Amino acid sequence: MAYYPVMLNIEGKRCLVVGGGSVAHRKVLSLLECGAIVTVIAPEVNESILKLWKEARIRLIRRNYIKSDLAGYFIVVAASDDRDVNKLIAEEAGAGGVLVNVVDDGELSSFIMPSVIRRGDLTVAISTGGKSPLLSKMLRQKLEEILPAECEELLKKLGKARESAKEKGLPSQEKLKIYKDMIEDSELKKFFKNGG
Ligand SMILES: C[C@@]1(CC(=O)O)c2cc3[nH]c(cc4nc(cc5[nH]c(cc(n2)[C@H]1CCC(=O)O)[C@@](C)(CC(=O)O)[C@@H]5CCC(=O)O)C(CC(=O)O)=C4CCC(=O)O)c(CCC(=O)O)c3CC(=O)O
Ligand SMILES: NC(=O)C1=CN([C@@H]2O[C@H](COP(=O)(O)OP(=O)(O)OC[C@H]3O[C@@H](n4cnc5c(N)ncnc54)[C@H](O)[C@@H]3O)[C@@H](O)[C@H]2O)C=CC1
């Protein structure tokens, strides 16, 4: 089965993470990074999650997940260490049309999370379709090393050039030449020529 890759806008959307261990913490951070409003439900939470709550960055409900807790959320992440609870959440999410990521079962998930590199508005996402998260992570680390820092600045400039070319209503070929020239004249020239 092939996963369908998308870039989801979750800014201001309510997202629920069930579980309070290190995996839950990683998922909470990635949701917060994208502007989600995050609630955590778990009887026990680790220090890192407690800190986020003390900083008022998340809402925290300290008890077990109970039926229908996920109603009204855009996304739910089932990150408890109880397989049955995670399964129940997946079933409820399926029935209620809520997007669900089950950390111990890709098959039950409506989406899985990739390894991510960010350079400003540039996002590189790597997934192995759940086959090897470790390989995703190692590829992410390697690509982070070789991806030129200049990407971020260049992308800002390309974004502006694209806006202004669109406003001027330039023909496609002309627009494309402007963008190509900007990339060719940038520090990224070497990277595209010989990979670094
Ligand atoms: C299917 C998926 C579901 C999902 O979580 O969305 C999933 C599932 C599982 N992960 C497990 C293990 C590990 N996960 C990591 C790390 C990450 N896992 C992430 C994603 C995903 N993990 C999704 C598929 C991603 C893909 O397609 O490649 C990353 C990329 C993103 C993120 O978590 O946000 C993040 C790296 C972020 C980064 O640093 O770049 C490490 C390495 C480490 O922790 O150092 C290990 C140990 C090594 C290993 O097992 O490979 C286990 C077994 C648990 C057990 O054995 O008990 C399961 C359950 C199962 O496989 O059934
Ligand atoms: N997707 C991924 O990247 C990875 C997934 N895993 C899987 O993730 C699961 C969680 O891992 P950790 O965070 O290390 O576990 P952990 O043991 O540190 O934390 C488990 C959390 O679940 C909570 N919990 C248990 N029952 C609950 C319930 N009924 N309702 C709400 N919360 C409940 C506990 O209070 C605790 O906060 C593991 O079962 C493991 O299989 C592990 C590594 C990576």
Protein residue with least CA distance to atom 28, ligand 2: 64
Q: Model confidence over 142-194: pLDDT tens digits?
A: 999 999 999 999 999 999 999 999 999 999 999 999 999 999 999 898 888 87
Instruction: Give the start-to-end residue ranges of the domains of the chain.
Output: 14-113, 114-146, 149-194
Q: Ligand 2 pocket by C-beta < 6 Å: which residues?
A: 18-24, 41-45, 64-65, 79-82, 85, 103-104, 133
The DSSP secondary structure of 1-14, one letter per residue, reads ----------TT-E
Q: Which amino acid residue places its CA nearest to atom 42 of ligand 1?
A: 134
Q: Exposed, middle or buried, 18 (CB in 10 Å: 0-12/13-18/19+)?
A: buried
48-62 pLDDT, tens digit per residue, is 999 999 999 999 999
Residue 32, C-beta contacts closer than 8 angstroms, at least 6 positions apart: 38, 52, 57, 58
Mutate to test the pocket of ligand 1, among 18, 112, 116 (most ligand atoms within 8 A of CB): 112
Question: What top-level class would CATH report for the domain 14-113?
Answer: alpha beta
Q: Which ligand is nearest to the CA of 86?
A: 2
Q: Measured in angstroms, how far is the CA atom of residue 134 from the centroid of ligand 1?
A: 7
Q: Which residue from 25, 29, 81, 126 has its CB within 8 A of the most atoms of ligand 2, so it is best to mutate?
A: 81
Q: Which two tokens stand for residue 7?
A: 């870039």
**pTM of the model as a whole:** 0.95
Q: Which amino acid belongs to residue 45?
A: V
Going 103 to 108 to 110 to 112, the CA torsion angle's sign is: positive
CATH topology for the 114-146 domain: Double Stranded RNA Binding Domain (3.30.160)
- Give 150 Cα–ligand 1 centroid separation in angstroms: 30
Task: State yes or no: pLDDT of 117 exceeds 70.
Answer: yes
**What is the structure's pLDDT at 195?**
65
